[in-house]
Amino acid sequence: MKILVVDDNPVNAEMVRISLEKEKYQPIMAAGGEEALACLEAHPDVAVLVTDVMMPGMDGLQLLERIRQRPEWKTLPVVVATSVAKQATVRQAASLQCKHFIVKPFTVRLLVQTVREAIEQRGVVLEDKVRVLSRLGIDGAGYDQLAVAFATFVHARVRTLQDLAEHDAPPAIDAGLQRDLVALEESAGLLGAERVIRTLATFGLPARTVPSPELGGVYKALLAELRALAAALPAPPSEAPPPPAS
């Protein structure tokens, strides 16, 4: 799981990197805001951003504001690390949907605990099979049939969304895609695909009409979640793997 770490202090950054690697995370390091934005472009599967506040050029709060302007990053969990826990800083970060703060100097235990909480905030890609069996009242064979049917549907929509996301001027959500989004929401609810459900809810889908300037980012956000879901589901019969993230 990739964690983007943004800190211009090389000693702090190294401590965070070592701590995350020990927990089997894959840290990606950036020394400033512009570099962090480039890393997010290059790694759409980043699970959490950990950022310092006081940095030259673009500070951590300005970085957070830039991130929230992009539809595909609206649900990205962010951990703000600061040496001065001012109320104004906390309020500004909270207004940008940041719920996680750590005050420097922090312990490895606190860092790891906060990162885990941020990951949990985003929800699970796919609910545990045993819990789904209990919730739906079906047996293992029934679950397996549902999972394969859902996987077939998801893999097909990955291809559709990839085509849409690659357009310079992405086409609007037509009636066919809206029906697909309704089916996706219902199916995700059955099998506990929380991250897909939350991503749809963030944009008011499937009911809301998305403004044209947001469409490309919305398609990218959905595409990233469907790729993660496709990886968690069984491969559909006679189906090649979905296209990898570019």
State the pLDDT confidence band at 246, using cuts at 50, 70 and 90: low
- 172 and 220 belong to one structural domain: yes
State the pLDDT confidence band at 237, using cuts at 50, 70 and 90: confident
pLDDT, position 8: 95
pLDDT tens string 182-228: 999 999 999 999 999 999 999 999 999 999 999 999 999 999 999 99
Is 63 part of a structural domain of the chain?
yes
pLDDT, position 121: 87
Instruction: For 183-221, give the DSSP string.
Output: HHHHHHHHHT-HHHHHHHHHTTTTTSPPPHHHHHHHHHH
Q: How far is CA 153 from CA 67, 147, 200, in A?
A: 30, 10, 16
Domain boundary (101, 122, 143) is at 122
Is 151 part of a structural domain of the chain?
yes
- 112 and 219 belong to one structural domain: no
CA-based nearest residue to 78, from 117, 110, 105, 124: 117
Q: What share of the chain is helix, strand, coil (3-state, %, to 5)?
A: 55, 10, 35
Domain boundary (100, 122, 144) is at 122
- 175 and 221 belong to one structural domain: yes
CA-based nearest residue to 198, from 91, 128, 97: 97
> Is residue 76 within 8 Å of 67, Cβ to Cβ?
yes
Handedness of CA 201, 142, 228, 101 (dihedral sign): positive
pLDDT tens string 14-24: 999 999 999 99
> Is residue 173 within 8 Å of 179, Cβ to Cβ?
no
State the pLDDT confidence band at 245, using cuts at 50, 70 and 90: low
- 109 and 180 belong to one structural domain: no
> Is residue 159 within 8 Å of 228, Cβ to Cβ?
no
Domain boundary (54, 87, 122) is at 122
Residue 160 has pLDDT above 90, yes or no: yes
Residue 39 has pLDDT above 80, yes or no: yes
Total domains present in the chain: 2
Residues 6 or more apart in contact with residue 238 via CB below 8 angstroms = none
CA-based nearest residue to 80, from 62, 103, 113: 103
**Which residue range is the domain that position 72 belongs to?**
2-122
Phi and psi, residue 47, nearest 5°: -90, -35
Handedness of CA 229, 166, 221, 244 (dihedral sign): positive
- 100 and 133 belong to one structural domain: no
Query: What's the CA gap between 23 and 30, in Å, rounded?
Result: 20
pLDDT, position 240: 54
Helix axes 140-165, 212-232, angle to 10 degrees: 150
State the pLDDT confidence band at 87, using cuts at 50, 70 and 90: confident
Which of 39-53, 71-85, 150-164 is predicted with the least confidence, judged by mean pLDDT? 71-85
Is 246 part of a structural domain of the chain?
no
- 211 and 138 belong to one structural domain: yes
Q: How far is CA 34 from CA 40, 94, 218, in A?
A: 10, 22, 22
Phi and psi, residue 233, nearest 5°: -95, 160
- 184 and 146 belong to one structural domain: yes
Mean pLDDT to the nearest integer, 170-180: 94
- 15 and 108 belong to one structural domain: yes
